[in-house]
Amino acid sequence: MKNMAISNYIDNNIILANLSNKNFDSTRSVILELSNKFKDRILVKNLSLKDIENINDTRQRYYSLYVYYAEKRIVDTYKIEQLKLSKNPIKAFKKFLFKEKLENCESKLVVYSAKYVNLAKAYTDPKLTEYAYPPEFDGGHLSRFYR
């Protein structure tokens, strides 16, 4: 499980589910309760993200990541409430997440079809070009039409 998976879990399953009652305070209290439950299981508290990634014990690392992202989202809900991005708290939170992704330059995983991958390989690999193009193809030049 990666860091983003834990962050997405907190965003989708906890915050958005609890924001449906249109109250930031109750959402923060739910996140705080869950965070405190996990915080009791952690040996070292108040670590940075870089320190958390260096923890060898997988369970401790996941608990620490969960607490880290949960506490981060508690602060973010205060920011969202003060920014007043939208009257609907769910829309405001989604706008905030979108803004955060743009600032971090996170890109989504793109899956290409096998046909497109083979075509891209043909463009980059000179050995495969003879199979990728029909025999009458002259590299995209229009010279054959102006003879």
pLDDT bracket for residue 147 (50, 70, 90):
very low
The model's pLDDT over 116-143, given as tens digits with 9 standing for 90+, comes to: 677 666 666 656 545 445 555 555 554 4
Three-state SS at 112:
coil
The tokens for 52 are: 């958390």
Q: What's the predicted TM-score (pTM) here?
A: 0.64
Nearest C-alpha neighbor of 6 from the set 48, 54, 65, 89: 65
| 5-61: pLDDT as tens digits | 888 888 887 777 777 766 788 888 888 988 899 888 888 877 888 888 888 888 888
- Helix 58-83 to helix 24-39 angle (10° resolution) is 160
pLDDT at 144: 47
d(CA 88, CA 20): 9
Give the separation between CA 24 and CA 122, rounded to whole angstroms.
Answer: 53
Q: Which amino acid is at 60?
A: Q
Instruction: Check: CB of residue 93 under 8 Å from CB of residue 23.
Output: no
